[in-house]
Structure 1
């Protein structure tokens, strides 16, 4: 821990932790960010202290902290705090698991933290998790559990699993006693995850709505081919053939052979 008043300070109004919090970062930055996120407020997160706790050198950690700042997870600054009857300025590092833009951090520095608009509707994955208790009362989940497991359930839906298949996979063959429903569901969502489906190849062709001649979309504007639209297939040349030959003869006669 840092000296009183110093060290890490968590930014307010962060989203719940998920397994995809720092997946947009390179592995080293993600590992260091996850470690800092796990520390409680007031922890010493100076470069030297982090280098002692993590398998990275001071230069690497300093580079990562700078990149976390660029990504909106971290801001360094000072804050005026009261110490008895005195006001002192302390150096603090503010950390946000949820990436913030410059506008948010500017408002935070003014003490005017913008509140995020709450979702009025829940995702299909969240609703499925919340409804598990109706099928199996022993698997009743809390709101926090549903939010935590939502990304895993979303992956099932992305891979094409139906609601009936998901419910059967999570509720079939339950043990007699379930002490931690969320842990059991998390395990089943991971171990029973169906394989990703191969992309479906679409075999489809377009045809003229009148003569049924096949063709591409460009060749069938309005759904009709050139013939059925009355458009001639071959455009007539701008000049008659005789004039074209006459122009060509004039060009040839004007050319002088090299000596």
Structure 2
């Protein structure tokens, strides 16, 4: 049973309340905005402070309302130099000059539940207070800018992997490489790989094992210090690490004496003589080199003459 509201009510058309393509969040947000008095802030942060939906859902709902002609947002520069966003709400998409689409007709009203008709308000538009933003060309608070991850490792779509390292020959580590990649999901569930991706990455793991890296060290390198944000393309992420962190080959070992060829007998070369030890001069308490104790070269002539 419906009761007529003599005051404090808002007239909402069925073309909005029964819109077949917009989400319930967008329909409810449009109804709320149309019920507000003129000059009320309707920025993303102001709406997120009122409702449990976060800024991301509210921003997506506002974009829906713009798409279907129920909202228009323009940027204006104030005399102070600030750039503000002016939001105008329309209760009819055909009244929005920026809307070029075709308004979606409302669903037919059920004849079994007639509703009292309310008169349409005369005012065609509903404006709200501009939302101030910074005096730069960056997106305003109306459109949240996702923060870029502060990491040097970049991932690419799974279908466009970087040029992966390959083993020098058909390595016998192929089964070990496949087992290593399959067990990465035990370290982190985000590293769950398909069988196709495991076979694409296995040659690069073979190249690591071929260079003398232990399988436990390869697994630790691939799964350690993972980013906090979700891994949308774990295959590309692992391909980047296998390529960028590839260690150099081990240097060749020095040949053993038993591996050297038989060389002809060479004559014994004289060993270099060791320098004479230090002695203390009896005349000046001065150190000098000599095989026998005595005097240094400065004191020797004087004592010899005496």
Using the size of structure 1 for normalisation, the TM-score is 0.32
Larger Rg: 2
Answer 1 or 2: which has greater helix percent.
1
